[in-house]
Amino acid sequence: MTPLGQRIRELRRERGVSQKDMASAIGVSAAYLSALEHGHRGVPSWPMIQKIIGYFNVIWDDAEELQKLAEGSRPRVVVDTSGLSPAATQVANLLATAVGELSEAELLALGDQLREALARRKGA
């Protein structure tokens, strides 16, 4: 399941809406919506994200959260390290090998470390 899929499911359940009803309302099949929630579909297009935002009638911060979750919800990630340092290739391979073995807490901590490192680089 992707972060976006998890949030869509949470919003549907909070509002007591079935996949079938939501899918019909936003103009997709229930199978597509199920695949999106389970991480079997790629990141939806911006117009589709807007339909989801509109369907749940979310505004400002919640809409921005859905957009950010969509951006980080690619279920099949390919990391091309050609032209990068050997350390970059090593880290990419290590992550690919270990990601399924790490606990949820370890994954969250690693994500936080990466976000902090990127924020420091942008601020420098």
CA 36 – CA 43 distance, rounded (Å): 8
Domain ranges of the chain: 3-71, 86-123
CA 44 – CA 36 distance, rounded (Å): 8
Tens digit of each residue's pLDDT, the chain (124 residues) = 888 999 999 999 999 999 999 999 999 999 999 999 998 888 899 999 999 999 999 888 888 999 989 888 877 788 899 999 999 999 999 998 899 999 999 999 999 999 899 999 988 6
CA 77 – CA 27 distance, rounded (Å): 27
73, 36 contact by CB (below 8 A):
no
pTM check: above 0.85: no
Measured at the CA of 81, the angle between CA 78 and CA 82, to 5 degrees, comes to 120
Phi and psi based region of residue 43 (left: phi greater than 0; alpha: psi -120 to 50; beta: remaining): beta
Q: Which residues contact 86 (CB under 8 A, 6 or more apart)?
A: none
User: For the structural domain made of 3-71, what CATH number should be given?
Assistant: 1.10.260.40
The gap between the terminal CA atoms of the chain, to the nearest Å, is 35
Structure confidence at residue 36 (pLDDT): 92
Query: Cα 34 to the chain's mean position, in Å?
Result: 15
